[in-house]
Amino acid sequence: MNNRQNIDNTEIDLSIIRDKVNSLFDGVKSAIFRFVQYLFKNIVWIGVLFLAGIALGWFMDRGPKIYESQVIVAPHFGSADYMYSKLELLQSKIRENDTVFLAGLGIKNPTKLAEVKAEPIIDIYNFINRSNSNFDMIKLMAEDADMKKIIEDPVTSKNYDFQLITITTANKTNQDLSIQPILNFLNSSAYFAKIQKEYIKNLELKIKTNEQTIGQINGILDNLGSKNGQNLSSQVNISQNNQLNDVLQTKYKLIEDIGNLQVALVQNQRIIKESAITLNIKKAKGILGQMKFMLPFVFVLLFFLIKGFIGFYTTQSKKHQLQS
């Protein structure tokens, strides 16, 4: 008897569930039908708004393009902080739209200049290899803090050999329009210019001294190889073995030093020396260039929201009037 009653209860429960599922499907089908009916009723408005969105989006996408130009620079003579402060000044003038100041620097079309910023090119290996003191400093700081944070810390990163300057412009630029004027602005320090002048003089003097020393060594070697070499040997008192080898090693070391000094001479021709320039990297940010695809759907969605709000307001107004 109890089993029969349980079976009947189960059948009743399944019947209720089936009815609810059917009711749910009927509700979904009814909602889809009403939505399709609503679309057909407003097809003209929807079509007009969709086409208007495409047209407006296409027009907006044809507007000014945003480009980034990147300049890798090496600040010399301890001028990294100076470079960052000058770039902050330049960026403040851009925010203020001070076109007179920007044009005075030689920047063409200053209204097209959107942003100037700098960031370090992290190269911890060269930084450590530059001197033992740098290695000791990093080692000491790493004892009390995270190594990654130390490497990226502004105080540390400003001392890396190379820094990246990014110049953002509306429309394309070139070196004459904006890059070179900005570099000239960064190299306009009278203080660092004096340091650079003395540094260059010192390099040139070292090169000249090394060349003279190499010339003297060559003279000694030439005389040693000549017929009068023995007479010269007795005068300068050097052996044909160990001391001659020392002279040759000294010559090779001086030649290597001259090469390094000549490279340094080239690298230090400017206070902020550019090493590579990349122009006009098209910047794809956010929805830039996608407006013709997005605006049509935005317009149609706004239409649905406005119509829905109007319908809701009308319904509630009628209910309120009836209750009154």
Tens of pLDDT, residues 205-217: 999 999 999 999 8
- In contact, 109 and 167? CB cutoff 8 Å: no
Q: Is residue 321 part of a domain?
A: no
Residue with tokens 């990246």: 164
- Whether residue 83 is found in the same domain as residue 37: no
| SS3 call for 62 | coil
Our count of domains for the chain comes to 3
Token pair of 245, please? 């080898």
> In this structure, are strands 113-120 and 272-282 parallel, antiparallel, or unpaired?
unpaired
Q: What pLDDT, on the 0 to 100 scale, is given for residue 263?
A: 92
128: left (phi > 0), else alpha (psi -120 to 50), else beta?
Answer: alpha
- Whether residue 96 is found in the same domain as residue 166: yes
- Whether residue 99 is found in the same domain as residue 181: yes
Q: Is residue 181 part of a domain?
A: yes
Cβ-based neighbour number of residue 277 at 10 Å: 17
Cα gap 72→120, rounded to integer Å = 10
Tell me: the pLDDT tens digits for 143-177?
666 666 666 666 777 778 899 999 999 888 999 99
Q: What is the pTM of this model?
A: 0.66
- Whether residue 150 is found in the same domain as residue 88: yes
Q: What pLDDT, on the 0 to 100 scale, is given for residue 92?
A: 95
- Whether residue 256 is found in the same domain as residue 306: no
- Whether residue 75 is found in the same domain as residue 181: yes
CA dihedral 246, 252, 258, 261 (to 10 degrees): -90
CA dihedral 47, 49, 54, 55 (to 10 degrees): 110
Q: Is residue 323 part of a domain?
A: no
- Whether residue 160 is found in the same domain as residue 104: yes
Q: In what order do the strands lie in the sheet with 66-75?
A: 113-120, 163-170, 66-75, 272-282
Q: What pLDDT, on the 0 to 100 scale, is given for residue 79?
A: 93
Q: What pLDDT, on the 0 to 100 scale, is given for residue 85?
A: 94
Q: Is residue 132 part of a domain?
A: yes
Q: Is residue 113 part of a domain?
A: yes
Q: Is residue 210 part of a domain?
A: yes
109: left (phi > 0), else alpha (psi -120 to 50), else beta?
Answer: left
- In contact, 72 and 121? CB cutoff 8 Å: yes
- Whether residue 76 is found in the same domain as residue 185: yes
- Whether residue 153 is found in the same domain as residue 275: yes
- Whether residue 150 is found in the same domain as residue 277: yes
- The one-letter code for the residue type at 38 is Y
**Which CATH number fits the domain that encloses residue 77?**
3.30.70
- Whether residue 138 is found in the same domain as residue 275: yes
Q: Is residue 204 part of a domain?
A: yes
What residues make up the domain containing 256?
196-267
Q: Is residue 94 part of a domain?
A: yes
| SS3 call for 288 | coil
Residue 117 phi, psi (nearest 5): -145, 165
Provide block-wise average pLDDT over 10 residues at a time, the chain (324 residues). Answer: 50 66 75 80 86 84 82 93 95 94 92 92 71 64 63 74 92 91 95 95 95 89 63 50 77 92 92 93 69 85 86 78 69
- Whether residue 21 is found in the same domain as residue 126: no
